[in-house]
Amino acid sequence: MRLKINTISTFFILVLASFAVNAQQGEVTIDQDKDIEKLLEYKKDIKTNKTFKIQVFQSVDPDRAQKEKSNFLNAFGDWPVEIHWNTPNYKVWVGNFTTRLEADRALIRIKKKYMNAIIFQPKSGK
């Protein structure tokens, strides 16, 4: 009798499981306005000047800034480096990163040598 109950229970569990598996199948249809596609195409055509840079050093002494630029190039050399003058400081800027994620990944490497390095977005003039 006990074997019969176990067999029947197992049978019902298998039947219910097969219904559960079949119940999870489906199809999704997305109905969107055609203007959305036009808007996405328009957005792709817009050129944005969003770039990120990392500032690794600043000083009022242009010779120290030049020396630090050379030191950075010797240590890393993976990214372009420039000295930007903003009264009264000479700043050493690194990179031309197109995404924040790319800049964050570079910053992790750079912070090992330059603890005070920061990510920023330059104003449109630079």
pLDDT in tens, 60-87: 999 999 999 999 999 998 899 999 999 8
**Which band of pLDDT confidence, cut at 50, 70 and 90, is reported for residue 124?**
low
Residue 26 has pLDDT above 80, yes or no: no
Contact (Cβ atoms closer than 8 angstroms) between residue 66 and residue 58: no
Distance, CA of 74 to CA of 60 (rounded, Å): 22
Closest to 97 (Cα-Cα) out of 110, 106, 84, 109: 106
- Please provide the DSSP assignment of 47-59 as one string: -----EEEEEEEE
Residue 20 has pLDDT above 90, yes or no: no
User: Can you give the residue range of the structural domain that contains 89?
Assistant: 52-120
Instruction: Judge whether 97 lies within some domain.
Output: yes
Looking at the 3D structure of the chain, how many domains does it have?
1
- What CATH number is attached to the domain comprising 61? 3.30.70.1070
